[in-house]
Amino acid sequence: GIQVEQSPPDLILQEGANSTLRCNFSDSVNNLQWFHQNPWGQLINLFYIPSGTKQNGRLSATTVATERYSLLYISSSQTTDSGVYFCAAASGGSYIPTFGRGTSLIVHP
């Protein structure tokens, strides 16, 4: 099955800083999502983005399917951005996503 790797595993920022999270996948994808797991454990949908670029407020995401990676950009980070960011991707005939191990983000005030 598809392999999904996320980097960096951990990230610590000061409030106001920008960051880029990366998701590499081993096969062409038909399904790619980014999630934020908040400190209370809730999984929040950020982007459904098998290809192209999307923006939602301070967050944006780009998937370059031909080069097998996706990037999540967080601008002007806030303490409420803290948590774990997961990428999940599916390929081939399966639409069932495989999750990466996540990037743990801490934003200090």
Partner 1 sequence: NAGVTQTPKFQVLKTGQSMTLQCAQDMNHNSMYWYRQDPGMGLRLIYYSASEGTTDKGEVPNGYNVSRLNKREFSLRLESAAPSQTSVYFCASSGGPPSAEQYFGPGTRLTVT
Binding range to partner 1, per CB under 8 A, among 13-21, 62-70, 72-80, 87-95? 87-95
Subset of residues 42 to 61 that bind partner 1, contact rule: CB under 8 A:
42-43, 45, 48
CB nearer partner 1, residue 83 or residue 102: 102
Q: Does 100 bind partner 1 (CB under 8 A)?
A: yes
Q: Does 88 bind partner 1 (CB under 8 A)?
A: yes
HSE, side-chain direction, 13 A CA sphere, residue 57: 8
Q: Which of 107, 103, 94 is nearest to 35 (CA)?
A: 103
Q: Does 99 bind partner 1 (CB under 8 A)?
A: yes
Coil, helix or strand for 18?
Answer: coil
Q: Does 31 bind partner 1 (CB under 8 A)?
A: yes
Contact assessment for residue 32 and residue 86, using Cβ atoms and an 8 Å cutoff: no
Coil, helix or strand for 95?
Answer: coil
**Residue 51 to residue 81: CA distance in whole angstroms:** 24
Q: Enumerate binding residues for partner 1 (CB under 8 A).
A: 30-31, 33, 35, 41-43, 45, 48, 86, 88, 90, 95-102
